[in-house]
Structure 1
Amino acid sequence: MRILHTSDWHLGRTLEGRSRLEEQVMFINELCGIVEDEAVDLVLIAGDVFDTVNPPAMAEELFYDALNRLSDGGKRAIVAIAGNHDNPERLCAASPLAERNGITLYGLPKEVLRPSSSLLIHPNQGKVSRVAAGQGWAELHIPSCPDPAIVAMLPYPSESRLNEVLSQSLDEEILREEYSKRVQQLFSSFGQHFRSDAVNIGLSHLFVRGGMESESERPIQLGSAPTVEVNAMPTGAQYIALGHLHRAQTVKGAAVPTRYSGSPLAYSFSETGYAKSVVLVEAFPGQAITTREIFLRAGYPLVKWKATEGLTQVQRWINEGKDLNAWIDLEIFVTSAIQSQDIHNLRRQREHLINIRPIFPETEKIVAEARSKLPIDELFRKFYQDRTGGADPDQELVSMFLSLIDPDKDETVSISQRQIIGDEEAETA
C-alpha cells in the first residue's frame, strides 16, 4: 500500500494581507500530479485544512476540488481530520457526499464513524469503502490494494473538543501530564482495532513534546491543548502521521516511525530556507514501512534582505532582479526615518516586498548592551523552552551549544563578549 501524508494546508491564509491562493492552487495541482505519478492508494491529511474556522468561499471551493481530484472517483482513499484552525462541523459538512467517493472526513475526537452504507458502496464496486468503523477508527477497503488499511484518528484534542476537564490544577506541568495521559488512553482505545493482516496507521493533529516550532503556528482554539509526551503515540501502528508543526520532521524517541509532514508553503518569514515536502509511505501488513520525502516546488520562497548600505543597495537589488519571484522581508539600515514616498516607490517596483523595517545602528547597539547582562546559557535555555513547548535542555545540550559558539570560553560568558548565533544554528545545536 502506498500512502501519501500531508497536512497544514491553511487554505485561505494570507501573508501580511497578501493572498496566497495562487500558490495554494499551484500546490494542489502539484499534489494531484504526485499521487498519480506515485500510484498512491491512500492520502492522509493531518489537519488544518483551512486557516480559520470561517474560511473564504474560494478556499472551500479549492478544498472540495482537491478532494474530488485526489479521490479519482472513489478509487483512491482519502482520510482528512480537523486541526486546531478548522471548524470540525464545517469540515465534515460534506461527509455524506464525500463518502460516495471514498473520502473520510473526521472532525471531533469522540465522533463515532459508521461503515459505508450498503446502499451506496459495496467492496466489489471498484470504489473505496469503510467496511468497519467506530469512535476514532475506520477500516478501509481500497480496490488497488489486496490488504485493508486500519486508521486510528485523533483530530485536534483540546479540552473543549473533548468536552472534558482533564485537571482542576492550574500547574502547567500537571496539566501537561494529565493531557498526555488522556491522549494516550484515546489512542490506545482506537488502536485496539489494529490487526496483523492489515496496514495499521495512526493519524493526529497535536504537538508532541520536543518538536521544533516556527512562528507561523498560531494558537487559535479556546481551551487549547498543551504538548504530549512521545510515549502517548499508539505503539501498534506501523506509521503515525502528524499535523500541526509546519517544519517537516521526524519525532525523536517514538516507538514507531512518526513524522510531521509540515506545511506545503512557508507561512512566515521564520520559515525562510525551509524545504517543503510531503511524505510517501510504502507499507505491507506486519512489516516495517519505508518512507520517502518528496520535495515540493509550488509556491514562492520567502527571503530576507538586509540592506546595510541603505536605500541605494535596495534599489540596486531591485534593478538586478534579485529574488524576482519571492516574498521579501526587508531590513534597511538608515540614519534617519525613511520617507513615505521612498517606501511607496519600493513597493511599486516590487509588489512582493512585504515588510520594510528601518534599522538604526545606534539603537541596536544600545539594545545589545542591555542584553549583555544576561548569560548566554540562560538565553539558550529560554529559547529552547519556547521552541519545544516548555522542555528543559539537558546540560549536555547546553554545553554543546556553548562549545559551538566558542569552545575556548567559559560557559557563562555574556553576549557582550560574542554575538549569539541565529535561530537556525541554535536549533541545529
Structure 2
Amino acid sequence: MKLIHTADWHLGKNIEGHSRLEEQRLFLKDFINICEEEQADIIIIAGDIYDNYNPSAMAEQLFYDTLKQLSRNGDCMTVVIAGNHDNPERLVASGPLARDHGIVIAGTPNSVITPGMYGKNEITESDAGYIHAIIHGEEADILLVPFPSEKRLNEVYLDETEEETKKAASYSEKMSSLFGSLATHFHEDSIHLIASHLFVMNSVEDGSERSIQLGGSYMVGGEIFPENADYIALGHVHKPQKVPGCPKARYSGSPLPFNVRETSFDKQVIAVTLTAGSPCTIRELPLPVYKPIEVWHCENIDDAVEQCEANADRECWVYLEVKTDHYIHEEDIKKMKAIKADILSITPVLPEDESEDFSASDLKEQPFDELVKNFYRKKFHVDIGEETFSLLMSIIEEN
C-alpha cells in the first residue's frame, strides 16, 4: 500500500497582512501531481487544513477542489483529520458529499465514520476514532485522533466509570489510555496506521505554530503510541522530523515557510510503502520554495533603494533592515514600496547611542502636535503619516 502524508496547510494564512493563497495554490498543484505520480492508495492530511475557525470562501474552495482531484475519481482514499486551527463541525459538514470521492473526514477524537463504500474503496468496520478499510484489496486499520483538547478528551471518557477516569487523570495518561484502547482494534493481518494532530515532547518547534505547548499541558511522550503501529502520521509541528522515542512516527511539517524562522529548513511531504507484518519504507519528497522570505541588511537608504530596484521583478517576501543615523522618512518608505511591492516591513537599525533623554522642561516647551509626532517617531522609527496624524488629532479633540 502506498501512502502520502502531509499536514499543516493553513489555507488562508497571511504574512504581515499579505495573502499566501497563490503560493498555497502552487503547492497544491504540485501535491496533486506527486500523489498522481506515486499512485497513492491513501493520503493522510494530518490537521490544520485552514488557519482559523472561519476560513475564507476562497480557502474552502481551494481545499474542496484539491480533494476532488486527489481522489482520482474515487480510486484513492483521502483521510482528513481536524487540527487545533480547524473548526471540526465545519470541516465534517461536507462529509456525506465527499464520500463519493473516497474522502474520510474526522473532526474530533470520538468521531464515528459511517461504514460503506468511499469511492471505489470500502470501510467495513468503524468505532469512535477507528476505521477498518479495504483499499485496492489491502486491509488497513486506521486510528483517527484529531486535535485532542482536554474538553474533547473528556468527551471520550464520558462513558467510563469514575474509577477508570481517575486512572487517566493527566493529559498524557488520558492520551496513553486512548491510544491503548484504540489499538485493541488492530487486526493481526492488517496494516496499522495512526493519524493524529498533537505535540510530542522533545520535538523541535522551529516554526510559527501558536502556543504549541500551551504551558506544557498538551505535551505527550513518544511512548504513548502503540508499538505495533506500522506508521504514525502526525501534524502540528511545522518542521519535518522523526519523533523522539518513536521512530515510526513522523511530522511531515508544513508545505510553506510561514515566517523567517521556518526558512532554515526544507519543506517536504512523506511517501510511505507498507506491507502488513513488514517494516515500512519511508521516503521524503522535497518541495520547492514558492516565494522565499528574505531579510535584506542594507548599509543605508540608498543601498536599500538599489536592492529594491535590483529585485523589483523577483518573487520574494522582504524584511528590510536599514542602517541609518536618523529615522526613515515616510517618502523614503513609499519610494521603496513603490519599487518592490512585497516589502513586509522596513526597520531602521540605529546606532546604539541614538537614544535621547528628554527632561520634563524640554517636553513642556514643545507644542502638543510636535509631542505626538516625536512620540510616534521614537516608538515606531518612522514619521507619522498625514492621514494617521489627522485621525489621531481628531480623536483627541473629540475626547
Regarding TM over 0.5, the answer is yes
2:142–2:193 Cα contact (<8 Å) kept = yes
Out of 255, 277, 300, the position equivalent to 1:286 is 277
How many residue pairs end up in the alignment?
346
Secondary structure class of the residue paired with 1:279: strand
Deviations 1:264-312 (A, max 9, x none): 11111111232111000011000001111111125211111122x1212
State the partner residue of 1:385. Answer: none
Superposed displacement of residue 364, structure 1: 9.4
Contact 1:5 1:44 in 2 (8 A): yes
Match of 1:359 among 341, 344, 349: 349
Corresponding letter in the other structure for 1:319:
E
Matches within 5 A, 1:382-397: none
Could you say which residue in structure 1 is the equivalent of 2:376? Answer: none
2:35 maps to a residue whose letter is V
Verify: 1:300 aligned to 2:291, yes or no.
yes
Question: Which residue number corresponds to residue 243 of structure 1?
Answer: 235
Correspondence for 1:265 among 242, 256, 273? 256
SS at match of 1:203: strand
Q: Classify 1:322/1:217 alpha carbon distance in 2 versus 1 (closer, same or farther; 3 Å).
A: same
**Which residue number in structure 2 is paired with residue 138 of structure 1?**
131
TM-score between both structures, scaled by the size of structure 1: 0.76
Contact 1:138 1:152 in 2 (8 A): yes
Is the Cα contact below 8 Å between 2:312 and 2:339 reproduced in 1? Answer: no
**AA of the residue aligned to 1:30:** D
SS at match of 1:272: helix
Q: What are the Cα deviations for residues 167-197 of structure 1, in whole angstroms up to 9, with x where unaligned?
A: xxxxxxxxx9811111111111111112232
Q: CA–CA distance in 2 between the matches of 1:93 and 1:50?
A: 15
Q: Distance in 2 between matches of 1:48 and 1:324?
A: 30
Specify the code of the residue in structure 2 equivalent to 1:328.
V
> Secondary structure of 2:63's match?
helix
Q: Distance in 2 between matches of 1:364 and 1:262?
A: 42
Give me the whole-angstrom Cα distance separating, in 2, the residues matched to 1:214 and 1:322.
Answer: 30
Partner of 1:337: 327
Classify the secondary structure of the residue corresponding to 1:250.
Answer: strand
Q: Describe the superposition over 1:101-152 as per-residue Cα deviations: whole angstroms up to 9, x where unpaired.
A: 2111000111222312xxxx38xxx702211111111111112xx3212111
1:147 counterpart (138, 142, 145)? 138
Q: Aligned partners of 2:127, 2:105: CA distance in 1, in Å?
A: 13
In the alignment, the residues of structure 2 paired with residue 221 and residue 356 of structure 1 have an alpha-carbon distance, to the nearest angstrom, of 31
Q: Work out whether residues 303 and 327 of structure 1, in 8 Å CA contact, stay in contact via their aligned partners in 2.
A: yes
CA distance in 2, matches of 1:330, 1:138: 50
Residues 300-338 of structure 1: per-residue CA shift (max 9 Å, x gap): 11111122x121222222232289211112221211100
Root-mean-square deviation over aligned CA pairs: 2.5
Aligned equivalent of 2:180: 188
Contact map agreement 1:158 1:223 (CA 8 A) in 2: no
- Kindly indicate whether the alpha-carbon contact (under 8 Å) linking 2:8 and 2:254 is maintained by their aligned counterparts in 1: yes
Secondary structure in 2 aligned to 1:257? strand
| Gap change, CA 1:151 and 1:292, over 3 Å in 2 | same
**One-letter code of the match for 1:302?**
I
Instruction: Structure 2 unaligned segments of length 5 or more: list them.
Output: 158-167, 356-399
Q: Kindly indicate whether the alpha-carbon contact (under 8 Å) linking 2:4 and 2:272 is maintained by their aligned counterparts in 1.
A: yes
Residue number in structure 1 paired with 2:24? 24
Q: Does 1:128 align with 2:118?
A: no
In structure 2, relative to structure 1, the CA distance for the partners of 1:281 and 1:270 (3 Å cut) is same
Q: Which runs of 5+ in 1 are unaligned?
A: 167-175, 366-429
Residues 239 and 257, structure 1, Cα contact 8 Å, conserved in 2: yes
Would you say the 8 A contact 1:153–1:190 is kept in 2? no
Instruction: Supply the distance in 2 between the matched residues of 1:223 and 1:229 (Cα, whole angstroms).
Output: 15
CA positional deviation for 1:222: 9.7
Render the CA deviation track for 1:338-396: whole Å, top value 9, x for unaligned: 0011111111111111121112131699xxxxxxxxxxxxxxxxxxxxxxxxxxxxxxx
Identity %: 41
Displaced runs of 4+ in structure 1, greater than 3 A? 163-166, 219-225
SS of residue in 2 equivalent to 1:73 = coil
Is residue 170 of structure 2 the alignment partner of residue 178 of structure 1?
A: yes
2:304 is aligned to 314
State the alpha-carbon separation in 2 of the partners of residues 34 and 165 from structure 1: 36
Deviation at 1:219, TM superposition (A): 3.6
Report what 1:208 is aligned to: 200
After TM superposition, give the deviation of residue 262 of structure 1 in Å: 0.5
SS of alignment partner, residue 59 of structure 1: helix
Residue of structure 1 equivalent to 2:374 = none
| Larger Rg computed on CA atoms | 2
Relative to structure 1, the CA distance from residue 282 to residue 268 in structure 2 (aligned partners, 3 Å threshold; closer, same or farther) is same
Task: Measure how far apart 1:82 and its partner are.
Answer: 0.4
Cα distance in 2, alignment partners of residues 77 and 4 from structure 1:
11
Higher strand fraction: Structure 1 or Structure 2?
A: 2
| 2:148 partner SS | coil
